[in-house]
Structure 1
Amino acid sequence: MRNRKIKIWVLGLVLTMTMTGCAKSYYHGPESDHFDGEQFFNAGPPRDIGIRDLLRWRFTRDPPEWPESVEVTPDRPPQRIDGEQLRVSFVGHTTLLIQTRGLNILTDPVWSERASPFSWIGPRRVTPPGVAFDDLPPIDIVLVSHNHYDHLDLATLNRLWKRDRPRVIVPLGNDTIIHREHPDLRVEAYDWEDEVALSDDVHLRLAPMFHWSARSLLDRNRALWAAFLLKTPDGNIYFVGDSGWGEGRYFEDAGERFGPIRLAVLPIGDYKPRWFMSYGHMNPDEAVRAHRNIGAHHSLASHFDTFPLADTAYGEPPEDLARAREAHGVSEEALRALPPGSVWWVPPV
């Protein structure tokens, strides 16, 4: 039964993504050190796996069992947090509510039931959001790191836009994807190293992130991906939505240029099988090394135990993270893995 569902999912994915992905160009602009005029790319070796590898994995995999659902005790955030205090509510996956300096900032907001182009099949969340949508305070800023379905959720963006009219900030090309579905939604698209003011004392910088992008089979790397650096007077916040290790070069660079880092948000999940996942997804050991390369005072683990996206078992990433912390001499206080609904008052630098 499970193999049959996988085959149906894959065949539906191939058909729908081929039909919707024809001749998609999300961005036109000058060439750069990460854009060749048609596609974006990382420094270092290119991603050398494609649709044939995807199909081989999907048809031969033996995925571990995940629970149908996991109970969550939701957070009910305050309306605002002023001054140097930093309150972070872990909603789940890479969705966080960051409150500091009077701003309410959401990262990669996903309140949908599935991370999929379909409403009827595809990865279904096993943990409800750690903050109910109606309990969200007024949202000022929305940051979307890239266009994969578990990060760019068009339905949630539209709900936020209709309710709060937040500033929606994305890397180049992702504005086109959003506007094709919701043409009235105002989006700001920027390149790596661009910087914008969010308030008088908080600024945002887009930084390199070692990943890739696609919404269909025919639009790979047509939209950019990025990490986000929030520059505040109380220490900086470095949000990485999804990233491979990439020889650690981007993390070393972030540590040299963007310190002091008060909080880094680092993905630890969906890393199996390594032959297929390693390019775009760190494992917990690499996340600990990234934490050390960045020189972060504190780090929060993300991208685990919400959607069954790969062959990583439920509960496996935090267990592997604990072993990696011990191996590298990093304390649990410094690098935490929290369940959805948890709140962390992060100390200032």
Structure 2
Amino acid sequence: MGVTMFFVVPPQYYQGPVSDHFDGKRFYNPGKPAPTSFLDTLRWYATRKRQPWPEFSDLQTVDIPPRRVDGNQLRVSFVGHVTLLIQTQGLNILTDPVWSERVSPFSWIGPKRVHPPGIRLADLPPIDLVLISHNHYDHLDLATLEQLWQRHRMRIITPLGNDAIIHERLPDARIDARDWGQQVMVSPDLTVYLEPMHHWSARSLRDRNQALWATFVLATPGGKICFVGDSGYGGGDNFRHIAARHGALRLAVLPIGSYEPRWFMAYNHMNPAEALQAWVDLGRPPLLPVHYDGTFQLADNGYEMPLADLARELQTANIVNAPICSLKTGQHWWVEEDGARVTAATCRHDKPWQPDVPGNPVSVQ
């Protein structure tokens, strides 16, 4: 957005009635303490102890997805960070798409990717829908959205207020902005619900919490998919709400990264122990962790620390054969309709898609 946009007083992103999570000017997490402040951010930067991360390197695997996946088949490709290509019911859906080199208001400074995207932009199939969970730069990347819009003219669904940010860059973009508890019928085979998540928003020093954040639940004939882009655990009530409202899930996507130091990150990001509890709250569906893969260094935890911590938490909780799939960037997963049959040993697919073998994942024990 550039230096000027970062520091000027922004427009009011959303104007609407007061609610239990909107005070007329800013959104908030009802019944929760205030998030960390700008002064806390300065304290973190002054005292942070970054764990080692590698230099930029290419990927061993780059996915070349099929043009469409029909019916109840479900194919999920890990592009990186929290960007997924979800293919089902003949639709191609991207979550929080980021293909940019940095996640920052500036092109010359800020977190820089250490791996390329797991799918090249040129290899994407026709994109029908983009989901934007909130406005942080590692989730709402205007440069990427502009490239996608020029190529695909896709529909965008996002929480309230984020449409104003996108329309400033893409005035003619097709955007459905919705509140918590609302939904968008995309097709007869897909309805997207927006549910609460425990987070916050800002793109500059002056627009804190002027745009909403949300979890998405995608309802299809083959089952429901829950996508959480970023969230603190927040006591777990949001996850229990989703379980109560939507029932059994075919797939849950939960973030497990960028969680150290806890005094600063706990409000914003779950650590693996909390993500595991959120998974339990959701009813233990097949789980795809995100936000851990080492695309961008956004916190102080080490490069391989999230998956190691998750493995330790599973061991401590004596959870074995859990349907948890930890993909590497550029890998994909054909998700079974019967989630009970999915195990970590059968969730990964290292080879690019082949037209004559569209079926089950391979074992990588």
Match of 2:217 in 1: 229
Q: 1:28 to 1:272 in 2, by over 3 A?
A: same
2: CA distance, partners of 1:337 / 1:214: 29
1:250-265 to 2 correspondences below 5 Å: 250-265=238-253
Shift of 1:329: 3.5
2: CA distance, partners of 1:254 / 1:329: 25
276-285 or 327-336, which moves further after superposition?
Answer: 327-336
Q: 1:43 to 1:149 in 2, by over 3 A?
A: same
Moved beyond 6 Å, runs of 4+? none
- Of 24, 41, 57, the match for 1:54: 41
Amino acid aligned to 2:21: H
> Is contact 1:195–1:206 with CA below 8 Å preserved after alignment?
yes
2: CA distance, partners of 1:226 / 1:52: 26
Give the alignment's Cα RMSD to 1 decimal: 1.5
2: CA distance, partners of 1:310 / 1:58: 10
1:321 aligns with 2:310: yes
Deviation by residue 1:26-62 (Cα, 9 ceiling, x = unmatched)? 0000011111111111122232421111111112212
Match of 1:28 in 2: 15
Amino acid aligned to 1:264: A
Structure 1 unaligned segments of length 5 or more: list them.
1-12
1:306 aligns with 2:298: no
Deviation by residue 1:307-347 (Cα, 9 ceiling, x = unmatched)? 00010110110110111122233346512221101111111
> Is contact 1:325–1:332 with CA below 8 Å preserved after alignment?
no
Q: 1:301 to 1:251 in 2, by over 3 A?
A: same
Shift of 1:248: 0.6
Amino acid aligned to 2:327: L
- Of 324, 328, 335, the match for 1:339: 328
Shift of 1:258: 1.0
1:208-287 to 2 correspondences below 5 Å: 208-287=196-275
Deviation by residue 1:179-218 (Cα, 9 ceiling, x = unmatched)? 1222222222111111111111211100111100000111
1:103-182 to 2 correspondences below 5 Å: 103-182=91-170
2: CA distance, partners of 1:55 / 1:294: 35
Match of 2:56 in 1: 69
TM-score (norm 2): 0.89
Match of 2:175 in 1: 187
Shift of 1:70: 3.4
2: CA distance, partners of 1:332 / 1:78: 29
Structure 2 unaligned segments of length 5 or more: list them.
339-365
Aligned to 2:250, what secondary structure does the other structure show?
strand
2: CA distance, partners of 1:18 / 1:138: 33
1: CA distance, partners of 2:318 / 2:177: 39
Shift of 1:24: 3.5
Aligned to 1:96, what secondary structure does the other structure show?
strand
Amino acid aligned to 1:68: E
2: CA distance, partners of 1:270 / 1:16: 28
1: CA distance, partners of 2:189 / 2:36: 43
Aligned to 1:261, what secondary structure does the other structure show?
coil
TM-score (norm 1): 0.93
2: CA distance, partners of 1:35 / 1:235: 32
Q: 1:86 to 1:331 in 2, by over 3 A?
A: farther
100-109 or 55-64, which moves further after superposition?
Answer: 55-64
Q: 1:333 to 1:130 in 2, by over 3 A?
A: farther
Aligned to 1:157, what secondary structure does the other structure show?
helix
1:294 aligns with 2:282: yes
65-74 or 151-160, which moves further after superposition?
Answer: 65-74
Match of 1:5 in 2: none
Aligned to 1:320, what secondary structure does the other structure show?
helix
Amino acid aligned to 2:255: P
1: CA distance, partners of 2:198 / 2:72: 31
Aligned to 1:238, what secondary structure does the other structure show?
strand
Shift of 1:71: 3.0
Shift of 1:96: 0.2
Aligned to 1:336, what secondary structure does the other structure show?
coil
Identity of aligned residues (%): 57
Aligned to 1:57, what secondary structure does the other structure show?
helix
> Is contact 1:263–1:296 with CA below 8 Å preserved after alignment?
no
